[in-house]
Every structure is written in C-alpha cells, then in structure tokens.
Copies of this chain bind each other. A is one copy, B any other.
Amino acid sequence: MAEKKIGKQTVKFEKCPYVIGAAAVGGEKEGAGPMREWFDSVLEDDMNGEKTWEKAESKMLKDAMLMALKKSGREKKEIDLVLSGDLLNQIMSSSFMARDLHLPFLGLYGACSTMTESLLLGSMLTDGGFAHNIIVGASSHFCTAERQFRMPLEHGNQRPPSAQWTATAAGAMVVSEKKADLSKTGAVDGGQNPAQLCNIRVDCGTIGKIIDAGVKDANQMGSAMAPAAVDTILNHLEDTGRTLSYYDLVLTGDLGYIGKDIASDLLIDAGLPEKDVRQRYDDCGTMMYDRKAQDVHGGGSGCGCSASVFSGSIIRRLRSGQLKRVLLLSTGAMLSTISPFQGESIPGIAHAVVLEACDGQIKF
C-alpha cells in the first residue's frame, strides 16, 4: 500500500473516491441571489412546509441528500453510511434527517467547516475500503441559527456591519469507490450530453488544526476564521509541494468580505504571489448574496453556505470541465454560545479537500 499520509496534515487517496452525485438546496433569499442558477431546488419559503424552522432545515438537508442520491444513479440500499452535521445544538437537523433515511450514520460537528469535514472523512472511509458509497452533507438555516446563536428574530435587533448572514441552504454529495453514471448525473443536471461530462475525483485532503487568533467578538467571524483557513492552505501547499497556481480555484467556506480580505493579505504576507491570490482565491461567503441588492453586511456564513456552493456551482463546473482542479476549504468557528461569556476567544478550524475533473484515464 502506498503511503497515504503525506507531510504533516495531508492525506492522499490511492485510487478512489469519486463524487458521483451532488445536490444543493437554497432558501428563498439565497435563491434570489447569484447562486440561483446552480441550486437544484429553492425553498418557496423558509418554513419549507414544516411547522418549525428546525424541521424545515432537517427536511431541506434530507432533500439535498435524496437529490444527490438520485443523481448518483445509486439505490438507497447501496449507501453504506451517511456523514453529516449542522450548526444546531445536538446537530438536530442531521439526527432527524438520519432517522428518516434509516441508514448507518456518524454525526459530525465542525461548525461551518462541516462540509469539507464530511467530504474528507467520507473520502478516507471509501478509499480505505470501508464503504462502497457514502452520502456526505451539511446544512444551515438563518432562522434556526439566529435563534440559537444570536437574538430571537422577533427582537428585530440591528446587526453590526461585520456580522455575517447565516445562509439557509444545504448541500450533499455521494462519494463512491466507482465512477459516476454520467447519463444519470447529466440528465438531472439539465440534459447535457454525457459524453461531454467529466468524472470528479477526490485527490487529497488536509485536516485542519484549531487556530485561535484571539478574536473575542462573535460578530467578527471572518477575522476569527481567516487565520485557520490560511494555516490549512499553507500546510496543504507545503505537504503536497504544490503552488497556488496548481489550482484553478481555491475557495474558502464563509469568511465573508472582511475575512476574505484578511485571508488574502495573510496569504500574500506568507509569500504567495499576489497575482495568484487575487486571481485564484475566492470565498463562498462573498458569492452567496448580491452585495448591493441583498445587503447582508459581512457576507454569507453557515455550514450550508459552502455546502451548497460546493455541491451546486463547483461540482457542476467540474462536471462540465470548466474547472479542472479546485481546493475547497470549509471554515468553522468552534465557539460555543457560552464560551464568550467565560472570556474565551474564538477557535477557528478549516479542512481542505481537492477535487479534480478527470476522464478516467488518470494513472496513479
């Protein structure tokens, strides 16, 4: 067996896994933004036909998983495991989703880093031979997150300009040891000719460390998480011996406008070519909403932000060959609702996964 651990924090996959299906669901506001064309479905309203926001989020996550499953061409009985998490206490959306799917389930908590945490774990378990097919995913909901982490919505409190807007969105992918059935993926993606579609392979991933930059303001999530994202990117490049220009796109999860600027500055300070940083680096939190028309202050955030951008836009652009190699990093702020009151600063974390478009001819 080839060495799969490379460098300090990176794992390299031997022959699989493939992302054989993916789906993204957006909320009402998110569906009115720049990502609308990439969503598989958009909620008519954020209650999603349920009586509570929490149930609405859980249903949205389940729908994303079932749509990803459909596009994968696999049957539910072929799925060995579901890996998922969300922002809610006791990962309520994921637990109730898993109850309904009735499949083996491992719950994760990585705050907004959950999408790459689930994708990375799912890829390791598949490549390690422990599963043939795994569904991975994550979700968030503006109303459930506001209630839990900030203020009751009815309070109508004013948000500071640096505060980010938790996206109502979910994303899910099916990771498999075998390549995709491109005739099915294509059909649901909008009828492209399967011959023109690419397989998507998970090449490697980097597991993040907790980085705490000492930020104590919970309305400054971007600044709290940016150092963790930068740490993981730099460790990834060092472990793999690659440069930023190896990737068409390096995409962080939800640093937002402020965090993206900080991360860009830190990357340049660390010696990465400014041109590459400006051209190749972006952040899902800055892509989710129209900055002028949908003013959300600091940008988007929440597990569902990167989950839906990765599972929607990025997977489709890899599938069509528009993107060849991407480095995806969901970024999480592991603070608790209690920890700031106990004087603690905000611990950040970011896990990275590399996805590649491939025609199946790649040799390892």
Contacts and interface: CB of A to CB of B under 8 A. Distances in A.
Contacts of A351: 106
A152 interface: no
Nearest to A341: B52
Interface residues of A, number: 60
Nearest to A80: B5
A132 B103 CA distance: 29
Contacts of A117: 106-107
Contacts of A5: 80, 129-132
A182 to B, nearest CB: 25
A334 B106 contact: no
Nearest to A9: B104
Contacts of A128: 4, 124-125, 127-130
A2 to B, nearest CB: 8
B105 A349 contact: yes
A327 to B, nearest CB: 17
A272 interface: no
Contact of A106 (B3, B89, B207, B336): B207
A1 interface: yes
Given A90-B109, A338-B89, A342-B51, A209 B102 contact: yes
A29 B129 CA distance: 43
A250 to B, nearest CB: 19
Interface stretch (A91-99, A154-162, A303-311): A91-99
Interface of A: 1, 3-5, 8-9, 11, 14, 51-52, 54-55, 80-81, 85, 88-92, 95-96, 98-99, 102-111, 117, 121, 124-125, 127-132, 207-210, 212, 334-339, 342, 344, 347, 349, 351
Given A54-B339, A89-B336, 15 more contacts: A1-B129, A54-B336, A88-B336, A89-B337, A90-B111, A90-B334, A90-B335, A90-B337, A91-B334, A92-B339, A95-B210, A95-B347, A98-B209, A102-B209, A105-B208
7 closest residue pairs by CB, A with B: A128-B128, A95-B334, A92-B336, A104-B207, A90-B336, A99-B210, A109-B109
